[in-house]
Amino acid sequence: MNKQYNIPVSDTKWLNESEMAAWMAYVAATHLLERRVEDQLKADSGLTHAQYEILAKLSQQPGGRLRMTELANRLIVSKSGLTYQIGQLERRGLVTRAACPSDERGVLAVLTEEGTRCLERTAPGHVAVVRAFLIDRLTPEEVETMRQIMTKATAAMEAAPAGPLRALRPGKSPG
Amino acid sequence: MNKQYNIPVSDTKWLNESEMAAWMAYVAATHLLERRVEDQLKADSGLTHAQYEILAKLSQQPGGRLRMTELANRLIVSKSGLTYQIGQLERRGLVTRAACPSDERGVLAVLTEEGTRCLERTAPGHVAVVRAFLIDRLTPEEVETMRQIMTKATAAMEAAPAGPLRALRPGKSPG
DNA sequence: CTCTTGTCATTCGAATTTGCACCAAACCAT
DNA sequence: ATGGTTTGGTGCAAATTCGAATGACAAGAG
């Protein structure tokens, strides 16, 4: 089938022991942390992590509003997925939809008063989880290194085209 | 609470700038990376990341086999979720179910020959993605620090009971 | 042995996510 | 202006995930 990602065995640069350990620990920690965050939010406010991230992102914006597509891009979620979740939040009165003044097609997701209160009520518990299982386990230097690592990775992926990895490798041009 | 320091009602210890930046970069990187990994696996072998992780975990075991519950625990997935995915992999001939010799109730998920070949065929591309967007962007020191960070976080979560976070916080006793 | 309790895996229903198709609106080169 | 192309948001079907309920077996007390 599609072999565009396949690299001949001889060229494969496998992960060494440290790299493999780092990757496996990252995967495990990510799964565990996602579960903890999800559990806390569910128990504390009935929100999912995806919904919390929507509220949090909106609250960072002036006027607590953002275009649907822009919001989806920032949250790294599909547009249809965002449509669904905004519907859920709207049903709970935490978000409202408003017409975009500059583009007739556009829709603004707007954080409501109640959405703001819900976020303020929920945030402390959320932060507590992030601290308890991650941040407070690290030295300030480790926190800073994690920031650098994750920023680099994010930049690499935002820069690279969505397509096949080949585009990133030298000596090949898209057919 | 004590307001003489102009601290809000809750005694929440918020994230400082570095911590917040680290957390937000982590969340963004994780979403982006998951998407990249998913895309590569789908295009290259028709596997999801969850399915790849099952095959990889089984391949690390002697005999390429593991009890369902044990596998679910290691992959940090619900048992019912694993049942579903093993069904999918079995349908493709990459995994077989076998009776557990020591426990009549038990079921062993067993990696097949074809499952092994599929994994060997898919692994290079997977590693290439992990390298391209994460590992190769880091210095060896950063890789090592990431390993430490993620190992600490994993240990913290595996040690802590699944229940409310309150149990972890000082000055409060359950009930 | 028998009863009670706990564990293992599955099934079922509900919730969520994605890609694709679709329609309306905006953009653009004639 | 105008026909063609692109963009923005939503509807829909398929896939995946989880929790609760279920049935079979195991383990321990009497």
Alpha-carbon distance of B7 to B75, in angstroms, equals 41
Tens digits of residue pLDDT in A86-140? 999 999 999 999 999 999 999 999 999 999 999 999 999 999 999 999 999 999 9
Contact residues on chain B for A150, CB-CB shorter than 8 A = 22, 25-26, 28-29
Which bases of strand D have any atom within 7 Å of the beta carbon of a protein residue?
A: 7-13, 15-21, 23-27
Using the CA of A87, which nucleotide's C1' is the nearest one? Answer: D10
Look at the alpha carbons of A145, B37, B111, B116 in this order and tell me if their dihedral is positive or negative: negative
From the list A9, A125, A150, which residue is nearest B26 (CB)?
A150
Residue predicted with more confidence, A4 or A43: A43
Place A40 in a pLDDT band, splitting at 50, 70 and 90.
Answer: very high
Tens digits of residue pLDDT in B59-96? 999 999 999 999 999 999 999 999 999 999 999 999 99
Residue A5: pLDDT over 90: no
Residue B9's pLDDT is what?
62
Question: Smallest Cα–Cα separation from B36: which of A78, A19, A161?
Answer: A161
Residue A10's pLDDT is what?
57
Please give the structure tokens belonging to residue A37: 């965050």
- Is the CB of A68 within 7 Å of strand D? yes
List Cα–Cα distances, B30 to A77, B9, B22, B27, in angstroms. Answer: 12, 33, 12, 5
Sequence-separated (6 or more) residues with CB below 8 Å from residue A43: B164
Alpha-carbon distance of A93 to B47, in angstroms, equals 39
Residue A172's pLDDT is what?
36
Place B161 in a pLDDT band, splitting at 50, 70 and 90.
Answer: confident
Q: At what angle do helices A79-91 and A68-75 cross, to 10 degrees?
A: 110
Sheet with A65-67, side-by-side order of all strands: A65-67, A107-111, A95-99
Alpha-carbon distance of A77 to A85, in angstroms, equals 10
Other beta carbons less than 10 A from residue B55's beta carbon: 25
- Is the CB of A49 within 7 Å of strand D? no
Contact residues on chain B for A8, CB-CB shorter than 8 A = 124
Residue A168's pLDDT is what?
45
Residue B3: pLDDT over 60: no
Cβ–Cβ under 8 Å, residues B10 and A124: yes
Alpha-carbon distance of A58 to A68, in angstroms, equals 11
Q: Coil, strand, or helix at residue A98?
A: strand
Tens digits of residue pLDDT in B7-33? 456 688 999 999 999 999 999 999 999
Residue A152's pLDDT is what?
97
Please give the structure tokens belonging to residue A144: 């800073």
Which bases of strand C have any atom within 7 Å of the beta carbon of a protein residue?
A: 7-13, 15-21, 24-27
CB within 8 Å: B153 and A29: yes
Alpha-carbon distance of B66 to B97, in angstroms, equals 10
Task: For nucleotide C17, give the residue with the nearest CA to its C1'.
Answer: A81
CB pairs under 8 A between A and B: 201
Average pLDDT on A25-51 reads: 96
Tell me the percentage of chain A whose pLDDT exceeds 90: 83
**pTM of the full predicted structure?**
0.90
Residue A9's pLDDT is what?
53
Element (H, E) at A67: strand A65-67
Please give the structure tokens belonging to residue A73: 């891009």
Residue A78: pLDDT over 50: yes
Return the residue of A nearest to B130 by Cα. A23
Q: Which amino acid is at A156?
A: A
Alpha-carbon distance of B55 to B82, in angstroms, equals 12
From the list B30, B53, B165, which residue is nearest A132 (CB)?
B165
Residue B134's pLDDT is what?
97
